[in-house]
Amino acid sequence: MLLYYITDSLQFSASATEARARLLENIAEAARCGVDLIQLRDRHLTPRELEKLALSAVDAVRKTGTSTKLLINSRVDVAIATGADGVHLRSGSSSGSDRASELSASEARNIFHKAGLTKPTIAVSCHTLEDVYSAEAHGADFAVFSPVFGKVIAKSQTFAEKNLPGVGLEQLRAACERAAAASSRMPVLALGGVTLANAQACLDNGAAGIAAIRLFQPDDIGKLAAVVTALRALQPAQGKGFTRRHPYQG
């Protein structure tokens, strides 16, 4: 089972400097606790700010001596410049005015290869079955399907906090079945309102792992180890047509 921590420094009630420090501390702790992948997602940052934070985040992960991989949200150039392990891309159905300019997984991989990096990890956000099909066809290493149980859009200077309804477990199951039926059997992770109480249901419906922000970024960093331990104790679906291969686990 894959565990995927997606960062959001805006969740911390602190100054920008303090939030950055807390985020780096949480990233290091997540790696120490055995979280498989971390996405540096802080989309409010400028490219220069993101690169600076990414350098510190890569360093924080590497110092733990674990196998945790750090991915950069959308910016292949920042991932290459900072020595990150890969990139997380948005799908064609993702929200945002510049979504049409987002690279496909195959295009991103080509850029990495031209930079001499032959084994990048490339993830894609998916919200529909068509997104899952496209991500697999373009060779994504894994997909993150959301929002399963719902999604909270954090408040900012431009909009208030709001909740988006979840697509439900049936859609998650359909997405996982579609990915499992493909030749690569691409892993699909569940995201959106996932908690310790409903994570097992995601696995029962074919998810290869759990992706989350709040679950892996608790107010009390001391609780993170217990969260990871509890998730590791869950049982992935076995013998239900969902067994799949992927590059992170045997």
What is the tens place of the pLDDT at every residue in 69-126?
A: 999 999 999 999 999 999 999 987 655 544 556 899 999 999 999 999 999 999 999 9
At 249, the pLDDT band (50, 70, 90 cuts) reads very low
Report DSSP letters for 73-131, one per residue.
ES-HHHHHHHT-SEEEE--TTS-STTGGGPPPHHHHHHHHHHTT----EEEEEESSHHH
Residue-level pLDDT at 134: 95
Average pLDDT score over the chain: 89
Which residue type, as a one-letter code, is found at position 75? Answer: R
Model confidence, pTM: 0.90
Mean pLDDT computed over 11-24 = 94
At 242, the pLDDT band (50, 70, 90 cuts) reads very low
Residue-level pLDDT at 250: 41
Mean pLDDT computed over 209-228 = 97
- Rounded to whole angstroms, what are the CA distances from 29 to 50, 84, 86, 152? 20, 18, 20, 24
Mean pLDDT computed over 159-179 = 83
Residue-level pLDDT at 236: 83
* Count of helices and strands (H, E) across the chain: 8, 10
